[in-house]
Chains A and B, each alone.
Chain A
Amino acid sequence: MSGFLSQGGYAGFVWGAYGMVAALLAIEVIGLRRQRRTILKRLGRLMRLRSSGGQE
């Protein structure tokens, strides 16, 4: 296990590269989920505003 983690002494390079890939892909997915919630909430509010006779 420690042999795997140390990657023959190149742990910093190997995990630095893999870590950035994992981090950016995770950030993209989380951002997309959050963006979806925001869009739905905003459009829902807009529709409520209009149906309640608010400004056009």
Chain B
Amino acid sequence: MSLSWSRFASPAAFYPIAGRLIPVFWVLAAGLILLGLYWGFFETPDRLGGSNPQKEYYRIIFIHVPSAWMSMWLYVVMVGWAAVGLVLNTRLSFMMANAVAPTGAIFTFLALWTGSFWGRPSWGTYWDWDPRLTSELILFFLYIGYIALHSAIDDTRRADRAAGLLAIVGLVMVPVIFWSINCPDPNQCAALHQRSGLGRVDGNILFAMLIMTLGFWAYSFATTFMRLRGIILTREAETAWAQEQVRAELAAQGVRT
């Protein structure tokens, strides 16, 4: 089998593909998020019972859990592209890692923000140095560090390698967030995040949560590809195909070059 994927590994080849995929992911994102919101607000109970009853504010779960999942997943994706770039020295992989980072940082911030708006009514506090909250905050700083380090180094290739290494080292935080539950038994101690299984979640709530996650995932694809196209054009500005592309797109806007 020939390596057909390598045909798409060049920025020039992937630029139009990303352009065609962006509207597809926008439609997917809008549809999934609207369905998820509808299901989360109208097809789920107002209150949750159990040992820790939750009133209407639990609806924050439909954005909190998907944001938190995306914050970790996008970090893994970013590290994956940075690692591919470091090993194979492919330009497009580093551009991909760069394009993912801001969206990942936004979802990390949103996970913290929505969590604190849920924490206040249910635990009585916006913030606590709980292991999971603390490690998620560190993940946020890692995203910021990656972006800041990359923009602080003028030479793009050096910036790619240095920021990529930082991202890889920071990957250790993802399993820490995942397993950071200091209290296995909520009857024995106070724990903000408890060990839980998706199988124990009510079917309608789980459905809305998963649909919202898919919606955020499609959204991340759309924004990442939008950012990627900007990065490709900027970095390839000296090449003939990029200049041809800029000319064509400006002409479509009615600007003469």
Contact = CB atoms under 8 A, between A and B. Distances in A.
Indicate, yes or no, whether A interacts with B. yes
Interface string B32-75: 00000000010000110000000111011001100100000000
Nearest to A8: B56
Contacts, number: 92
Chain B interface helix/strand/loop/mixed: helix
Nearest to B103: A28
B20 interface: no
A35 B243 CA distance: 17
A15 to B, nearest CB: 9
A10 B55 contact: yes
Contacts of B59: 7, 14
A40 B57 contact: no
The majority secondary structure among interface residues of chain A is helix
Q: How large is the interface on A (under 10, 10 to 19, 20 to 34, 35 or more residues)?
A: 20 to 34
Given A25-B219, A28-B103, A32-B227, A44 B255 contact: yes
Contacts of B55: 8-10
A17 B63 contact: yes
Nearest to B122: A13
